[in-house]
Chain A
Amino acid sequence: PHLRTFGDDFQTCKVEGAWPLIHNRYLSVQVTNTPVVPGSLATAPSKLTIIFKNFQECVDQKMYHAETDELPSAFADGSKNGGERHGANALRVVEQVPGQHVVIQARYIGTTVVVRQVGRYLTFAVRMPEEVVNSVEEGDDQDLYLCLHGCPANQRIHFRDFRARAAEAQGPGRGRSGAGAHGFTYQSARAKCKERLPVEDLYFQSCVFDLLSSGDINFTMAAYYAFEDVKMLHSNSKMYHLFEKDAFKSRAAPRDG
């Protein structure tokens, strides 16, 4: 899947199986990624568990759990708010489109979570104050939380390498159409993604990547909605679009020399 971290790093990762996205004093988010095509490295989110922890006089602990084809409009206990406490309405699940789009408002921590199902897979987005992001439990090693530190280096896939391979596969003598195993050529994938994502930023690049690696046209919409969520949740409009040079400047540069 593609990850945009709290630090605006944009990465594409393998991360098959269950991985933590966020973990702090107030909430934990865990995602499970499953292979999109059997035998392929490509995985996509199929389960998501969010635990909002018990907080003062505001909310009881609540769990939200979504899976492919099951995007509930309530917490796991059937409730839609934070329980019976005085400030329970500071936590609410709001269904936007049944089975497709849910927003969870956690006002007591200034946090908004957006969960969608696009095609067969889930998308996750969150807006959270820095103070909450950094409210780490004492003694808790934060290395593996993807939203905070990104994917481990050995789990990352680099667009540049992927693009080079895609271009090579479509070179002279590689077949009449140059189409990949899933029916999209590099050019046809670009054309498809351009329909929804006119700016050739990393959302566009991720869309091309997904079409080439999976052949599933729904991923065009996943990238489109991920960008829509950025526009809704990100506090700096100048940072909506990310381009390759921005995305890799902070972490990849030292490692790549």
Chain B
Amino acid sequence: CKILRCNSEFWASTSSSGQEEEFCTALRAYNGCVRRTARTCRGDLAYHSAQHGIEDLMSQHNCSKEGPTSPPRARTPPPPLPPPLQPDTQERSDGPEACHYERSPPRGAAQPNYTHCGFFGD
């Protein structure tokens, strides 16, 4: 369970900023980070506290759940829309880290285990 990492990233991202809009962005990113730890953190007190804490903070600061969630330490503008899809365009940016499973922070360096399912024939 890597909930403490989510917590520290959130506090790091909000410590230098006083703007409400940026706080909401960081809060949404925090929410995303916490949600990604859901499976491994089930039953963890810090995880459940964070869940409730986020709801409270969102309500207090009037933040909407939908909206930008730029990662706290790399706030880049959205990339332009890509040209039509081609098989050779695999390396284009996929947006935030959370949108690339293998790069998602909570999983660290460990490679996920992949499984396969196939359905064919008569």
Contact = CB atoms under 8 A, between A and B. Distances in A.
A107 B104 CA distance: 11
Contacts of B85: 80-81, 92-95
Dominant SS among interface residues on chain A: mixed
A147 B113 CA distance: 16
A56 interface: yes
Contacts of B68: 57, 86
A2 B119 CA distance: 6
Interface residues of A, number: 76
A230 interface: yes
Interface in B32-48: 32, 35, 39
A4 B118 contact: yes
A223 B120 contact: yes
A1 interface: yes
A6 B119 CA distance: 11
A100 interface: no
Nearest to A59: B99
A250 interface: no
A228 B85 CA distance: 23
Interface stretch (A163-171, A172-180, A213-221): A213-221
A110 B112 contact: yes
A21 interface: yes
Contacts of B114: 110, 127-130, 233-235
A83 to B, nearest CB: 11
B25 to A, nearest CB: 10
B39 A1 contact: no
A86 B78 contact: yes
B113 A129 contact: yes
Contact of A219 (B39, B96, B118, B121): B121
A123 B118 contact: yes
Nearest to A131: B112
A170 B99 CA distance: 57
Nearest to B94: A90
Interface string B53-95: 0000000000000001110000000110010111100101111
Contact of B120 (A2, A7, A59, A88): A2
A44 B122 contact: yes
Contacts of A2: 118-121
29 contacts: A2-B120, A3-B117, A3-B119, A4-B119, A22-B117, A45-B119, A57-B68, A57-B69, A58-B95, A86-B68, A86-B70, A87-B99, A87-B100, A107-B99, A108-B100, A108-B101, A110-B112, A121-B120, A121-B121, A121-B122, A124-B118, A125-B117, A127-B114, A127-B115, A222-B120, A223-B120, A225-B120, A226-B121, A234-B116
Given A90-B100, A121-B122, A128-B115, 16 more contacts: A1-B122, A6-B115, A80-B84, A87-B100, A89-B93, A90-B94, A94-B87, A107-B94, A107-B101, A123-B121, A124-B118, A125-B116, A126-B116, A128-B117, A209-B121, A235-B116
